Amino acid sequence: MPTTPQPIETSYNRSVSTKSDYSFISWVRIIAMFSIVAVHCITFPSPSSKLPIHAQANFPLFSLMTSDQATYLLVLEQCMRFGTLIFFMVSGFLVGVTLDNSSAWEYYKRRMNTIAIPFVIAFSLYCLYFLKSIFINIILGNTTPDLFYSTIDKVGLYLIYTPYWFIPTYFFSLAILLILRRHLLKPWLGIVLVSINLFYAFNVHLKWIEPRHSQAAIGFILYLWLGYIIARTDAISRSLALVSNSVLLGITILVFGVSLLEVYSLYSAGAWDPVNSLRLSNQLFAISLFFLLARNNYMHRLRFIKPRTESFGIYLYHMFFLVIVVRVLDYFPWLHQFNYQSTYSGFTLVLLSLARGILVLTLTLIFVKILAASRFRWLIGLHQVRQ
């Protein structure tokens, strides 16, 4: 990854950097990370635990709420639905500014060495927690072919229906991008990738295939490529000559409003995932917001957070702390008021969701900082510090 020097002062803010300065990426990355944590912390009613894993993930939770509650939480979720797309753009941007230093295979192998082992360990621990009874039987020798295949099936479902789907999708997208390295600046590739994304955008409504973003790996290649193009063409700085900050803010608000209308349309039609990340309006919202955040860098006000070294660890372990928070709230009766209640207003649920998101992010950040300062920093993809 590139170094992170101090941001350059500009006429509109402590803002967009030159080609040798990528500090704004830290700002974009921490905002995207909070959005991802916040989405996972939204205070929904729980589906029946008797449902299988995939059914729980696909269960239309909004159908269990009042209209007021659903409306407020749909707005909140749309506010946070940019994170995944922006993270792919950030990853593509970093490819664009570092790929010249190595061959495609060397770059891919370096990313694997940094990311793969920490990911496998975190995902394995997650599976071990939720499948502990099965693993205990395996250790005791109480195994059958059905138990073995059932375990494999459940692990696969956790990989698809939890936030851990992101890393396999990232490596798949990165592999395609590097294979096409010689063609990345050719217009035909952009046309192909946009066409693929339009398929997924329309599929959210038409349901040609299951409209779940975590199973649309090909659809995210566009955002890795787009980040690469932004880096190679210095698009963020060039955008200043085309669109002022106020106009860009207006565009972002406009596409956000359109996104809300699309969410409401899908919700009214009974879609189980009305806030799918690959909706066309949400894609436009994420792109516009990426440029807006990149051009207005406030990272200097959050010096206690180091997104370059901490965001991967937050991604890997925030679900553990969400589980801890949920278990604590369930265990103590006097804390039940901080869980979903059918009598709560939609606004109350929004406040509870944001509070839960901030708490989970804070706890995870503390844990990651402790890891980063220890000999176990490799668990979050950091190299050991030489003595």
pLDDT digits (tens, 9 = 90+) for 181-232: 999 999 999 999 999 999 999 999 998 888 777 678 899 999 999 999 999 9
Using N-to-C axis directions, what is the helix angle for 221-233 and 235-242, rounded to 10°? 80
- Judge contact between 328 and 42, C-beta under 8 A: no
Mean pLDDT of 345-370: 96
In terms of Cα–Cα distance, which of 98, 94, 89 is closest to 290?
89
Number of separate domains in the chain: 1
Burial grade of 187 (CB within 10 A; 0-12, 13-18, 19 or more): exposed
**What is the rounded average pLDDT for all residues in the chain?**
86
Instruction: Tell whether 19 is covered by a domain.
Output: no
3-state SS of 103-118 is: CHHHHHHHHHHHHHHH
Instruction: Tell whether 349 is covered by a domain.
Output: yes
- 6-10, 42-46, 100-104, 131-135: which range is least confident on average? 6-10
Enumerate residues 6+ apart whose C-beta is below 8 A from 129: 320, 323
Instruction: Tell whether 88 is covered by a domain.
Output: yes
Instruction: Tell whether 385 is covered by a domain.
Output: no
Domain that holds residue 376: 24-380
Q: What is the pLDDT of residue 6?
A: 35
Is residue 375's pLDDT more than 60?
A: yes
Neighbours of 140 (CB within 10 A): 8
- Judge contact between 318 and 324, C-beta under 8 A: no
Between 139 and 21, residue with greater pLDDT: 139
The amino acid present at 302, given as its one-letter code, is L
Mean pLDDT of 274-302: 94
Count of residues for the chain? 387
Per-residue pLDDT band at 378 (split at 50, 70, 90): very high
Taking only the tens place, the pLDDT of each residue in 299-329 is 888 888 999 899 999 999 999 999 999 999 9
Instruction: Tell whether 284 is covered by a domain.
Output: yes
Which tokens sit at 344?
């709560």
In terms of Cα–Cα distance, which of 339, 251, 259, 334 is closest to 292?
251
Per-residue pLDDT band at 136 (split at 50, 70, 90): low
Per-residue pLDDT band at 132 (split at 50, 70, 90): confident
Give the C-alpha separation, 307 to 26, whole Å. 5
Q: What is the pLDDT of residue 272?
A: 77
Taking only the tens place, the pLDDT of each residue in 25-42 is 999 999 999 999 999 999
Enumerate residues 6+ apart whose C-beta is below 8 A from 4: 22, 23, 25, 26, 308
Q: What is the pLDDT of residue 141?
A: 63
Residue 331's SS3 state is helix
Taking only the tens place, the pLDDT of each residue in 63-96 is 778 899 999 999 999 999 999 999 999 999 999 9
Give the C-alpha separation, 364 to 213, whole Å. 25
Enclosing H/E stretch for 224: helix 221-233
Instruction: Tell whether 266 is covered by a domain.
Output: yes
Enumerate residues 6+ apart whose C-beta is below 8 A from 39: 77, 80, 81, 83
Q: What is the pLDDT of residue 224?
A: 97
Instruction: Tell whether 187 is covered by a domain.
Output: yes
Q: What is the pLDDT of residue 216?
A: 86
Instruction: Tell whether 142 is covered by a domain.
Output: yes
